[in-house]
Structure 1
Amino acid sequence: MLTVGDKFPSFTLSAVKGGPDGLGGPGVSFTEVSNETDAGKWKIFFFWPKDFTFICPTEIAAFGKLSGEFADRDAVIYGGSTDGEFVHLNWRKYNDDIRDLPFPMLADTKRELCEALGILDKDAGVALRATFIVDPDGTIQWASANGLNVGRNPQEVVRVLDALQTDELCPCNWTKGAETLAPQELFEKAA
């Protein structure tokens, strides 16, 4: 799996648009997303194993509810799986929890991005529950992966993004607004 310090891979994928336009029908519902989309912004990429499953919509809806918090941090969200864009669209149309998602749903049907990231489950051949925070230069600054049966905590992604954006030393359980660590003060206390 790619990790902190690695460049996020180049890609171009079909996607279901975020927001109400995403439910407009063929030609209106779809867009193309690449690693160059939203250049200069922080990006949150998260992947789930399959559409029409049980844990996935809980995570996707939770990321959707936090989209304003990510936007306030000059970050954009992209969610995706190895399902196709027509499957994503159908799932959105018939699942109340994800119908109004504000972010695009990426369709990595050839599994090229998932393979490049190293996040395909070895047995099932679908994406792990992987999350990446990518800085405006396209470098991965945080990477996390859960197995297929355990959902993640999107609020933790917000917390880590906040910490990364301070460009300071942030202690365990640090939250936005709390003090960061000052190395000089720590050295003075130790002396």
Structure 2
Amino acid sequence: MLTVGDRFPSYRLSAVEGGPRGLDPKTAFTVVSDAEDAGRWKLIFFWPKDFSLLCPTEILGFARLSREFADRGAVVHGVSTDSELVHMHWRLHHPELRDLPFLMLSDIRRELSRECGILDAVEGVPLRATFLVDPDGVIRHVSVNDLGVGRNPQETLRVLDALLTGELCGCNWQKGEEPLRVG
């Protein structure tokens, strides 16, 4: 599995647009690559399957914080191995996902999930992995949960805030608090 200090793999994936464009078959689909957001922080999170019970709770958790990630210069991409058509259908039929503000990427060939080392060997779907990737394409934070355990998007935002300080940030440090100082 890729970890802190590794380069995040290059990708070029089909996706469903966020916002109202992602609900119209004429405007919903696009292709996204890592090069498009070069020089920016990226939050890339994977979920196992569309149309499941647990996945939308996490997706909506990241959606609620999307403005805060954007305010910090980070782009948010959600990824699963479902097709872009399934992503759009899910958005159309899940009322809470209709206003989703970020792209839903389709790793239908499982290439990105495999390169990241997060493909569950038994289920053939990505684990609940979260990557914070710096503007140089280096992974600065990674967390991976079992398929049955949701993650905490607020903690991901806290970690991004800590990374953005460039300082030592202690346990439970919160934005606005002083970092640790030697002496």
Same fold (TM over 0.5): yes
SS of the residue aligned with 2:161? helix
Normalised by the size of structure 1, how large is the TM-score? Answer: 0.94
Quick check: which has more Rg, 1 or 2? 1
C-alpha distance in structure 2 between counterparts of 1:62 and 1:90, whole Å: 20
Unmatched tracts of structure 1, length 5 or more: 186-191
RMSD of aligned C-alpha atoms?
Answer: 0.7
- Matched residues, number: 183
SS of the residue aligned with 2:99? coil
Percent identity of equivalent pairs: 62
C-alpha distance in structure 2 between counterparts of 1:170 and 1:76, whole Å: 23
Equivalent residue, structure 2, for 1:100? 99
| 2:149 equivalent to 1:150 | yes
SS of the residue aligned with 1:105? strand
The amino acid that maps onto 1:63 is F
C-alpha distance in structure 2 between counterparts of 1:51 and 1:99, whole Å: 14
Equivalent residue, structure 1, for 2:46? 47
SS of the residue aligned with 2:32? strand
After superposition, residues 69-108 of structure 1 pair within 5 angstroms as 69-108=68-107
The amino acid that maps onto 2:10 is S
After superposition, residues 1-191 of structure 1 pair within 5 angstroms as 1-26=1-26, 28-183=27-182, 185=183
C-alpha distance in structure 1 between counterparts of 2:142 and 2:59, whole Å: 17
C-alpha distance in structure 2 between counterparts of 1:82 and 1:156, whole Å: 25
SS of the residue aligned with 2:141? strand
String of CA shifts for 1:35-56, please: whole Å, max 9, x gaps: 1121111000000000000000
What is the deviation of 1:131?
A: 0.1
C-alpha distance in structure 2 between counterparts of 1:139 and 1:182, whole Å: 26
Equivalent residue, structure 2, for 1:188? none
The amino acid that maps onto 2:11 is F
Normalised by the size of structure 2, how large is the TM-score? Answer: 0.98
C-alpha distance in structure 2 between counterparts of 1:148 and 1:137, whole Å: 30
Unmatched tracts of structure 2, length 5 or more: none
C-alpha distance in structure 2 between counterparts of 1:12 and 1:31, whole Å: 10
What is the deviation of 1:5?
A: 0.4
C-alpha distance in structure 2 between counterparts of 1:13 and 1:25, whole Å: 17
